[in-house]
Amino acid sequence: MIEHFHLRIREIIQETSDCKTFIFENSDLRYKAGQFLTFIIPSGITRIRRAYSFCTELRTDNFPGVTVKLVENGAASRYMLNSWQVGDEVECIQPAGKFIFDENAEGELILFAAGIGIVPIYSILKQALHSSKIQRIHLFYSNRSKESTIFLQQLSQLEHQFPNKLLIKWFFSDSFRILDARINSDLIDTFFKKQTLTNKEQVHVFACGPESFMYLVEVRSLSSGIPKQNYHQEVFYREDSESHTPHKFKDGNFEVIVHKDGKTYTMLVAGNQTILSQAIKNEIPLTWSCASGRCSTCMCKLDSGKVYMSRNEVLTDRDLLKGSILTCTSYPQEGPISLHFK
């Protein structure tokens, strides 16, 4: 399987003063709404990897695209926004991500987005609008101001196009009315109590934004009776620099056998090293993106042995029961360890 490939930029759309959407020529690219692409970006004498969510959706958009917002001191976003031009070919690895909408889901869809977190939400929203099984969609969208709001015009048009299905509540931090400035716990509690379906099994919640924002949405959603399996969130970044390493390293080296694309690789991994980091050193071609337990790109199945995952923000309980692990945060505990990549 070819994992690295190139996309040619077809169009660049200036969304806000510090945000652009890049549309690519590759109309045959297969992906799911809510997923992301990981781009390989030159940075000095090295290359870095950064993931950016699709803002497009296969059924409604002829060409795939991602939206990039400038991050303070962000080498990748600065390079992309300042250097990428129409006609350029850019390198990436194939679409990945588990923040996706199940087309068989029935009932009501509740979307929460803050700032750049709207990008995968927008992709999912467009997919769900054309689902006959979803009765109604609510979007709660928070920004600093109207001027900084990504997809403001596009979302307003969709709301006008689907008046009986899509309801958007806008929040702007610069608003003079406090109720229009912030999404708070009382607002969420009241909404889930009075304006959603009585059968919470048919209410599906998706959230993307800063960590504290999603924590608020998650706590209030679950406490309002939304089943855990119906709550989904996408983590773009963390608000802290806390080091997430195992509380206890195992001494010695452990044999790790990797089965991938019909090939078998064997390596020794020290107890204080992640499997992914050693694979990179050994030039074993594992697929990866965030390297911090957030995106599932490096997910594989643990066939034998035991590992310790220092962080997991994407695998569900069902994934874990099936033996799935993230190699980027997995440290060997008991060997030999056998891993299988699809």
pLDDT score, position 243: 47
Neighbours of 247 (CB within 10 A): 6
Give me the domains of the chain, ranges plus CATH numbers: 4-96 (2.40.30.10), 107-234 (3.40.50.80), 253-340 (3.10.20.30)
| pLDDT the model gives residue 237 | 57
Q: Hey, which bits of the chain come out as E strands?
A: 4-16, 19-24, 36-43, 46-53, 65-69, 89-96, 107-114, 134-143, 166-172, 203-208, 231-234, 253-260, 263-270, 299-309, 324-326, 330-340
Judge whether 305 and 314 are in contact, CB under 8 Å. no
Q: Would you state the pLDDT for residue 124?
A: 97
Query: What is residue 1's predicted lDDT score, i.e. its pLDDT?
Result: 43
Closest CA to 66 of 5, 14, 26, 22: 22
Asked if 140 and 112 touch (Cβ cutoff 8 Å), the reply is yes
The predicted pLDDT at position 247 comes to: 55
State the Cα–Cα distance between residues 199 and 217, nearest whole angstrom: 19
**What values do phi and psi take at 215, rounded to 5?**
-65, -45
pLDDT of residue 304: 94
pLDDT in the model for residue 239: 44
Beginning with the edge strand found earlier in the chain, give each strand of the sheet holding 324-326 in spatial order: 263-270, 253-260, 330-340, 299-309, 324-326
Q: What is the pTM of this model?
A: 0.78
Low-confidence ranges of the chain (pLDDT < 50): 1-2, 239-246
